[in-house]
Structure 1
Amino acid sequence: MHPFPKLIKQLDQSADQLQRARLRTMQAIAAGLLLVAALLFVLAHTQRASHPAWGYLEAFAEAAMVGAIADWFAVVALFRHPLGIPIWHTAIIPNSKDQIGRSLGAFVENHFITEQGVAERIAQADPAQLLGNWLRQPDHAKQLGQSSAGVLRQLLGMLDHEQMRRLVQEKATSYLGELNLSSVAADSLDALIADGKPDDMLDFLLDKCAAYLEDESHHDTIGDFALGAFKIDNALLRRALKAYQPRMIASLLDYTVAIGIDRQHPMREKIAGWIADSALHLKADEHWQATVRHYQLQALASDKVQTMLGELWDTASARLLADLNSEQPALAATIARLAENTGKVLADDAKARDWLNGAIVKGSSSLVRRYRGEVGDFIEAQLARWTREQMSDRIELAIGRDLQFIRINGTVVGGLAGLLIYTITQLL
């Protein structure tokens, strides 16, 4: 058993024992007063003939006994049958156990768990201020960061990583599949055009093309590409084209360099037009959009992309776990800084406190509206688990000691009333 529940149980038992001892003490005092009244009555009755004063004492003692016995009956009748005799309207609490449970649940529900009551209590407590004062302490913020890191480390150890891997892969695929890639590409092209970036991109591509054409190791590849593009099968023509291959590549290189040098080259204007037209087509041309969509879904369905998406969780969890297992986790420090800054904001900014308190009040009101009916049912169900004897015993322990004062008061007040009546009788 966990030590805390065991300790709580021991404390409850100790409190019950103390309450029982105090109850028995008060019961003994009340019974003792009844016994004293009985002894006084016997003494006064036997000595009554010797002096008129004994009559007054006899009347006091007799009425005191009556009051003590009547109040004893009234107190005992709340919890059990007096002397075990099932007299009508006795053992009131055990016989009314279910009604008491319903009434107590309804009373708590209607008079304690109310939206206004909870809101007023939250306003008085000012939880935002308390939270801010606590979080702004560096030690508290550090403790929160370390605790959060520890909890997260345990959660990572408890997770089914294969299930998480599939979940992340499915969610990423779904998100990327819903992404309107045509719109994103069109917006990107518009932004590039607005910032004058197409020229920079063209310069970059021209430099790369020139470098590729200058590299002689690529010349055979370029020649083979040209032969394939023109679909030349005649051996004579193939040899002729091969012979002109250096001049063709040199011409391409010159043309590429010329475009790069001349900022007003006609090809630059054509390329800029192609880019602008592409942006328009991506926005409005359904055929273009369908084509982009087709290739987008085709790419997502490829084994390579699916494997990459499946590795997202492994990569993220491995990096996070490596950080959490380090001596000074960066995540813990980040949470601590965030907590301390939040505490400073809440402690210094009244508007932030009002907002948070308002959010707590709104959330608590929603909870009250949703669950207040269950509070009464919960109390009634808990009391229904007790037997009639258990409920009677618990209530008697809680208020029985104070009820013994009724017996004591009944003894004293009854005796004084009897003495008053006897005195008036004698005077008349």
Structure 2
Amino acid sequence: MRIIATALLLAMAALFVFGKYMETRYDGYWGFLRAFAEAGMVGGLADWFAVTALFRHPLGIPIPHTAIIPNNKERLGRTLASFLRTNFLTTKVVARRVQRMDVAGAMGKFLSAPAGGEGRMRMGASRLLGDIIAALDDERLGGVAKGAIRKQLDKLDIAPLLGQLLTAMIRERRHIPVLDGIIKWASATLEANEHLIRQMVEERANTIMRWTGLDDKLANAIVNGLNKLLHEMAEDPDHPLREKGEEGLAKLAHDLRHDKELQAKVAHWKG
């Protein structure tokens, strides 16, 4: 585009010189040709200067009132931000938009496309969303948005959803990392609280057991037995206690979907 524009400007200049030359030697309509070429040449120079002056100094010459955008970008940015805030980010406008948002549908579409969703997550969408929520103004936009979200959460019966989620996890064997985490947590807790077990055994032991040292042996046997049990559960995916744990998770999933008393407790915790 720059080559074409420059070529047309040069063509108008050449046509102006030709028209001026012919006008001085011959009578007729050469003056119209010269005027046409002169208008095109002046208009092209004016357009070039106007566009160039917006972004830089023409030909590198610091002519006043040129390079307008680089010299005034901060003021332009503040003015644009003020315009957007005053006319588009008012409480009523944003609240009306938020009320029409289908958050559940959008989340469903996002989660139903793991490949695209994973890419968007890698591009930082989750971090951006977190920054936006953290930056909401409680007194204006933040209060409206958070109030709308809170109202929707209050309407949501979360217990059946948790039950369906847990059922799906068990069906697809995705609960196994949960059991592994519980076992690791129990092992770490036992290691950090061995002294409490030994203290309890010592407090309940009689004088003879303390005198003969049986209380220490009993405490060691309890701690070693629990450590061995947790190690076996961690190593053996078919351990009977792991199966009991899976049965407990399945019962919890069922109760979350069908037990009204448990659903009421979950609703109370949510509040």
TM-score in terms of structure 1 length: 0.29
Which is bigger in relative contact order (C-alpha 8 A, separation at least 6)? 1
TM-score in terms of structure 2 length: 0.43
Q: Report the structure number with the largest CA radius of gyration.
A: 1
The structure whose residues are more often helix, as a share, is: 1
